[in-house]
Amino acid sequence: MKFGMAIDVTRCIGCHTCAVACKMSNNLPEEVWWNNIRSDGGEAPDTARGEYPGNLEMNYYPVNCQHCENPACVDVCPTGASFKREDGIVSVDVDTCIGCASCIAACPYNVRVLYDKEPTFSMDFAVGDYDAPEHKQATVGKCTGCANRIDRGEVPACMDLCPARARFWGDLDDPNSDVSKFLAGKQTVRLLENAGTEPNVHYVK
Amino acid sequence: MAKSDATRARSIGRRTFLKGTAATAGFAALAATGCSSGKTDAPATTDDGSDEVKAQAEPEKKPVQAPPEEIYQGVCRGNCFGGCSLDVKVRDGKVVATTATKLPNPDYSRICQRGHSHLQRIYDPDRLKAPIRRVGDRGAGEWEQITWDEAIEEITTKWKQYQAESGPESIAFMAGSGNFGVAATNYAGRLRDAMGGTLVQFCYDNCYFHAGLHAEGVGEAFLGNEIADIVNAKYVFLWGTNPSVAQPQNWHFIMDAKEAGAKIIVIDPNFTLSASRADVFVPVRPGTDNALLMAMINEIVDNGWIDADYIKAATVGPYLVKASDGKFLRGSDIGIEPTTTVNAAGQEVPVDPILVRDADGNVGTVEEIADPVIEGSFEIEGNEVTCAYTLLVESCKPWTVARAAELCDISEDTIRDLAKMYAEGPSTIYQGFGPDHYVNGERVYFTQYAMAAITHNVGRPGASCGYDWTYAGLMKYVKPALLTPQGAAATLTTVSPAMLEQVKAKEVEGKPFDLRSLYIWVSNPLGNQTDRNSWIELFNMLDLVVVVDMRLGDTAHYADIVLPCVHWFESMEIMPQTSPYLILQEKVIDPLYESKTDVEIVNLLAKGMGIEGFEMTLEDYLAGTLNNDLAKADNITWDRLKKEKVIEILSGDPFYIHGENGVFRTSSTRLNLYYESPTPYIVYGQSFDVEKNRLPYWEPPTEAWPETVAEFEANPLAARFPLIFTTERNKMKCHTQWGHSPWLLELYNEPVIRIHPTDAEARGIKEGDYVRAFNDRGEAVFKANIHPGARPGVVIAPKGWEEDQFKKGHYSNLTSRVFNPFTPNNCFFDALIEIEKA
């Protein structure tokens, strides 16, 4: 069993539906995003790359925890709070995490957040899933693969419905999973492949 | 897993900034360090397992007990043309999540970033809690809270006074599409009609409506085929539209078509996100689309790529236009006395049949003449006539490929390629509202339909011209007009861009118009109409501006009295548009604070005015709109909708095809490629050029023509304001809705303007600089985004921001009220500006 995701970059329109679904379902604090939509043209959202008119590109890469095969974050965690589940999901145990941020330094993908202050929320009640992860000061937060949802048979929030039908997930070891079927025969890109982390999020261009 | 009780119990302060978040780093950092291409064909086997971190046992956690939660049926109604069916989850009496409903056809299951953010609109701390009345200067933001009784008493007392002093038309009603439900949109119109007030047409998208209704008539998908049919197209023309941003719910259908082998062609001055996914991007000069279309028709005709049989059978092409008056030759013109028939309403109506001619000179009706000609001029019993198709061809003749290439700033080969692809078909023109936003916009759609008609790119799978707004429900089953009080009607009709002048002149085309009060609901004109300062000037001339809204939006901010309405999930509704389904909105939670539904508000106003017939409840009204013969015949009832929540109403197997049988819901029952009796889209007594509007023509945009091209001289304003100002759909908003959702503001936090690098460099503007955009109408300050996709000489401002979100000004200060009287409209792009560092 190996949890993995695939994103069809040719279909992704950078609408942020997956990012907001994550924000809602996981009751994320203010300014915290576990799934970030990056424009490859520049830092400003929706920036194109190239020369008008004939040589232009505009692409998006939704980037969340890559649920790596060799997660650098797990290696460096001094308390074992960062761990990899048997299904491949990389997660953080908030009760063990001491907020030392070693994992943030080790992770090449910049997808972890240190709650260095008491997290604040734009809503004054908890939204999303009743069992959304706890966001505790002095711990590190990150994409949990929506383990809480998966464990009760639901799909990760970001995979619930992509308007562009650009997102796929499932067991990469199972050739019949949605993600394996989508990836079969396709050339893929993984972020920072030379970092040795063996990410399990595949991008198809 | 993790316990969230503590989180949920916590009382949380607002708007504290959290530093060091993942959101701050850009993608470039990742890409720069080597985003390498995987070589494997089977990613499932990319791990060799050598360094694999051993899976660890998950720490033991006490499972969280699932609390009681309820799911209600909801429907999103902001008129992005989504009409998304939503599951609304409630826990502890509060909406905690919105997700996409699983619909019978999963291709229509849909939600977006805004749909997931509804709870932030419901629990917006700035929701209006009670009616408020202005106490300071207009727009100063000084208010006092009043009771509903006080609000209704004040409004209705003043309205009665205005009626007595200035006539019933002195009170005007203006809607929009801010809550596109049956009751929210229509119910206040009952009061307007019962009071004999003035109807203010809000004038959005009218070029598209006008040309489409005339040329191909309304079908179940409004204009064109069901969107899912686009997969059958070989060529998809996204013409002046950016659905990947404006209608993300439709984008996957377009990508499905591409995967099935269709070529995607984007015609747009700017390199949009949709253009980035196209096979062909045609970067036309702004406002020249109809020159391109006429040149394409020339190329199609010259190469014999027309479908003559279809023109004969399904268009007015063979009809004979009289030189004397531009009308079709009819029996009475050659001495055949008109007969009469009884129409569906039981009335006796005259029949004066339209005539055609065959190659042998026989003249008769289309039933009598088996093979009519579509080309040529003839004299028939003293009438000089020409086939309508010939007139179409002749009207396009002067717009040669070479001339269009110069005007449109594209190559002749591009035009020839476009014509060839289009004619080969099946081709779908996915219309949008880019061309609509210029004064010359209506003819673009007119000519698109003409080109579709002569090439049979209508009425068959994959061949469609229009935009799927899925009107099925409203047209077929949902009939709010049946509930208009007997004999009630608006006294006057006017159009929003002309209103200021009419109020100043105290007349509408000769009819007295002493406007005293404006009632605005489901609409935010100060944020969405052109020339915002003219609206403030208008408001200042009125005695009482009443706005119904959920929060103090831009229009409410300048009102005299603001009445708080419910969020969409706080009342029942029917959404009959923009999807193949009739969708129920259940009442999910009670209205917050003192907010009321539009039906309740209008009933209170009617009672205050002493008008009877406004005793019905919201549910009575909704049920009533479905209480008609056609709905009953097809078993579409309120009780069934309440039970089933979602009812499929769109016909077609597998897809709805517009005009599949060759019969259209037009004046002629054919495709009108000639306008026999040009009629303005909204008639308020204005004059217009009849002859010009029978056939395609092109003239430059009124203002947005900054350079002299061929014989068309630059607008002199360009000396001071050389840039064309365009706006784009904002990913995080629907018009001005969702504008204050904290989640979405974290993603896109301030008004931005996109400028081409050469235009920026010429003005010393760098990425992230604040810039002042201005013209004689006003100004706005934006953050600059240097964007190579903006056409040089054109700037793009994603819209939907409100006044409080600008450092200074507002984007709508820059736009112009100028419009074409034949098609009154907001012409958002027909504007010139200059930009400088702020």
CATH (domain of A90): 3.30.70.20
Beta-carbon count within 10 A of B440 CB: 25
Contacts for A183 with CB less than 8 Å, ≥ 6 apart: A6, A168, A172, A202, A204, B42, B43, B44
Task: List alpha helices for B82-180, DSSP H.
Answer: 118-122, 148-166
List CB contacts (< 8 A) between B11 and chain A.
Answer: 124
Contacts for A9 with CB less than 8 Å, ≥ 6 apart: A59, A60, A61, A166, A189, A203, A204, A205
User: Which of B26, B36, B248 lies nearest to residue A13, judging by beta carbons?
Assistant: B248
User: Which of B23, B31, B120 lies nearest to residue A31, judging by beta carbons?
Assistant: B23
- Mean pLDDT in residue range B732-745: 97
Choose among B56, B67, B76: nearest CA to B8. B67
List CB contacts (< 8 A) between A40 and chain B.
Answer: 27-28, 31
B18:A29 CB<8 A: yes
Of residues B474 and B321, the one with the higher pLDDT is B321
Q: Chain B residue closest to A94 (CA)?
A: B2
Sign of CA dihedral B628, B633, B639, B640: negative
User: Which of B29, B111, B789 lies nearest to residue A52, judging by beta carbons?
Assistant: B789
Q: How many residues does chain B have?
A: 838
A48:B52 CB<8 A: no
pLDDT at B469: 86
Selected residues 436-475 of chain B with any CB under 8 Å from a CB in chain A: none
Q: What φ, ψ does residue B265 adopt, rounded to 5°?
A: -115, 125
Tell me: pLDDT of B45 over 70. no
pLDDT at B345: 82
Selected residues 11-40 of chain B with any CB under 8 Å from a CB in chain A: 11-23, 25-31, 33-40
Cis peptide before B824 (omega within 30 of 0): no
Q: What φ, ψ does residue B338 adopt, rounded to 5°?
A: -60, 145
What is the C-alpha separation between A190 and B5, in angstroms, rounded?
37
List CB contacts (< 8 A) between A113 and chain B.
Answer: 20-22
Q: How far is CA B76 from CA B179, B591, B647, B654, in A?
A: 9, 17, 16, 26
Full DSSP string of A30-94:
TT--SSEEEETT-SSTT--EEETTTEEE--EEEE-----SS-HHHHH-SSS-EEE-TTS-EEE-T
Q: pLDDT exceeding 90 applies to what percent of chain B?
A: 89
3-state SS record for B353-393: CECEEECCCCEECCCCCCCECCCCEEEECCEEEEEHHHHHH
B30 confidence band (pLDDT: 50, 70, 90): low
Q: How many residues does chain A have?
A: 205
Confirm if B84 and A106 have CB atoms less than 8 A apart: no
Q: How far is CA B640 from CA B109, B575, B646, B648, B650, in A?
A: 21, 15, 9, 12, 17
Indicate the SS3 state at residue B27. helix
ipTM score for this prediction: 0.98
Count: domains in chain A = 1
List CB contacts (< 8 A) between A125 and chain B.
Answer: 8, 92, 94, 96
What is the C-alpha separation between A111 and B41, in angstroms, rounded?
27
Which amino acid is it at B278? A
Tell me: pLDDT of B54 over 70. no
User: Which of A123, A129, A161 lies nearest to residue B111, judging by beta carbons?
Assistant: A161
What is the C-alpha separation between A63 and A34, in angstroms, rounded?
8
Q: pTM (2 decimals)?
A: 0.94
- DSSP letter, residue B66: P
What is the C-alpha separation between B444 and B460, in angstroms, rounded?
22
- On the CB side of A45, CA atoms within 13 Å amount to 24
Tell me: pLDDT of B1 over 70. no
Pick the residue of A117, A161, A162 with the most B CBs within 10 A to test the interface with B by mutation: A161
- Mean pLDDT in residue range B282-290: 98
The residue range of the domain holding A52 is 3-204
- Mean pLDDT in residue range B220-231: 95
B613 confidence band (pLDDT: 50, 70, 90): very high
User: Which of B11, B22, B111 lies nearest to residue A110, judging by beta carbons?
Assistant: B22
Pick the residue of B743, B770, B799 with the most A CBs within 10 A to test the interface with A by mutation: B743
What is the C-alpha separation between B662 and B310, in angstroms, rounded?
9
pLDDT at A86: 96
A84:B55 CB<8 A: yes
Choose among B717, B697, B699: nearest CA to B707. B717
- Mean pLDDT in residue range B589-594: 98
- Mean pLDDT in residue range A157-161: 97
- Mean pLDDT in residue range B42-50: 37
Q: What φ, ψ does residue B190 adopt, rounded to 5°?
A: -60, -40
B87 exposure class (CB count in 10 Å sphere: 0-12, 13-18, 19+): middle
In the beta sheet, which residues pair with residue A57? Answer: A49
List CB contacts (< 8 A) between B35 and chain A.
Answer: 189, 191-193
Selected residues 252-311 of chain B with any CB under 8 Å from a CB in chain A: 252, 255-256, 271, 273, 275-277, 281, 283
Tell me: pLDDT of B4 over 80. no
pLDDT at B576: 85
Tell me: pLDDT of B53 over 60. no
Of residues A65 and B81, the one with the higher pLDDT is A65
Report how many Cβ contacts below 8 Å link chain A to chain B: 329
Tell me: pLDDT of B43 over 80. no
Contacts for B26 with CB less than 8 Å, ≥ 6 apart: A38, A42, A43
B40 confidence band (pLDDT: 50, 70, 90): very low
B31:A148 CB<8 A: no
Confirm if B380 and B364 have CB atoms less than 8 A apart: no
B550 confidence band (pLDDT: 50, 70, 90): very high
B346 confidence band (pLDDT: 50, 70, 90): confident
Confirm if B699 and B440 have CB atoms less than 8 A apart: yes
Tell me: pLDDT of B7 over 60. no
In the beta sheet, which residues pair with residue B774? Answer: B779, B834
pLDDT at B222: 93
Selected residues 90-149 of chain B with any CB under 8 Å from a CB in chain A: 91-92, 94, 96-100, 109-113, 115-117, 119-120, 123
List CB contacts (< 8 A) between A16 and chain B.
Answer: 113, 731-732, 747
pLDDT at B718: 98
User: Which of A23, A48, A130 lies nearest to residue B69, judging by beta carbons?
Assistant: A130
Q: pLDDT (tens digit, 9 = 90+) per residue, B305-341? A: 999 999 999 999 999 999 999 999 999 999 999 999 9
Q: Percentage helix, strand, coil, to 5, in chain B?
A: 30, 20, 45
List CB contacts (< 8 A) between A72 and chain B.
Answer: none
Tell me: pLDDT of B15 over 70. no
Selected residues 473-502 of chain B with any CB under 8 Å from a CB in chain A: none
| Shortest Cα distance, chain A CAs vs residue B810, angstroms | 21
What is the C-alpha separation between B399 and B297, in angstroms, rounded?
9
User: Which of A16, A40, A198 lies nearest to residue B46, judging by beta carbons?
Assistant: A198
What is the C-alpha separation between B395 and B639, in angstroms, rounded?
54
Indicate the SS3 state at residue A110. coil
Helix (H) / strand (E) element for B430: namely strand B427-431
Please provide the average confidence, as pLDDT, over all residues in chain B.
92
- B62 in reach of chain A (CB within 8 A): no
B788:A31 CB<8 A: no
Choose among A67, A64, A63: nearest CA to A85. A67
In the beta sheet, which residues pair with residue A7? Answer: A167, A203
User: Which of A53, A119, A188 lies nearest to residue B18, judging by beta carbons?
Assistant: A119
Confirm if B110 and B249 have CB atoms less than 8 A apart: yes
B578 confidence band (pLDDT: 50, 70, 90): confident
Q: Chain B residue closest to A147 (CA)?
A: B1
- DSSP letter, residue B454: H
pLDDT at B3: 30
B111 confidence band (pLDDT: 50, 70, 90): very high
pLDDT at B468: 87
- Mean pLDDT in residue range B422-450: 98
User: Which of A15, A48, A191 lies nearest to residue B271, judging by beta carbons?
Assistant: A48
And the tokens for B756? Answer: 């081409």
Residue B331: alpha-carbon gap to chain centroid: 41
A189:B35 CB<8 A: yes
Q: Where are the beta strands (DSSP E) in B738-793?
A: 752-755, 770-775, 778-786
Tell me: pLDDT of B449 over 90. yes
- B790 in reach of chain A (CB within 8 A): yes
User: Which of B19, B34, B255 lies nearest to residue A164, judging by beta carbons?
Assistant: B255
Helix (H) / strand (E) element for B297: namely helix B289-302
Query: What are chain B's domains?
Result: 69-122 (3.30.200.210), 132-196+487-567+591-616 (3.40.50.740), 208-333+350-472 (3.40.228.10), 716-837 (2.40.40.20)
List CB contacts (< 8 A) between A52 and chain B.
Answer: 271, 283, 756, 788-792
Choose among B560, B580, B468: nearest CA to B519. B560
